[in-house]
Amino acid sequence: MKKGFLMEGTGLALLGAAFILAALLTDSALESLLWGFGGAALAPGLVMTVRYFYWSAPGKENRFRELQERRDIERGDELNEKLRDKSGRIAYMAGLLILVVSEVVFAVLGKMGLVKDYRIFVPYLFGLLVMQILIGMAAFHLLKRQY
């Protein structure tokens, strides 16, 4: 296993520990965010570090290489690539639908007086919808030109 994996894991763990230490030592409105960032960095960092030492142990290096070769083959498999592309398309369409429904729901709830400051959410969601459509179209045209 590469040393970079250990360095990345250690760096993430240290960053997470720094966020948690900052959350412990400060009393601010951002404390909950510091706790969240700390956990989000510390846990993967520890997992990456432990995984590095586990797979770098004597006798496990060959097994790790076999697993890596199998992952590389599966990653490059045409069926898997097609399925990833199709699942990405489904997620994209679901995201568009969720944005449209959210706009309508916030607008209705705002007009009924159940949500205050709805005028912030509706334009934001509309802008996000437009950006997602434009990025999807641009990516499609760039990929079509590439192939």
| Res 116: pLDDT | 84
Give Cβ neighbours of residue 39 (< 8 Å, ≥ 6 apart): 16, 20
Q: Which of 9, 8, 30 is nearest to 19 (CA)?
A: 30
What is the value of pTM for the model shown?
0.62
Please check whether residue 19 is in contact with residue 37, taking contact to mean a CB–CB distance below 8 angstroms: yes
Please check whether residue 13 is in contact with residue 40, taking contact to mean a CB–CB distance below 8 angstroms: no
d(C-alpha 78, C-alpha 68), whole Å = 18
Per-residue tens of pLDDT for the chain, all 147 residues: 788 999 999 999 999 999 999 999 998 888 999 999 999 999 999 999 999 999 888 888 889 889 989 988 888 888 888 888 898 899 999 999 999 999 899 889 888 988 888 788 888 889 999 999 999 888 888 888 887
Q: Where are the domains of the chain?
A: 3-76, 78-146
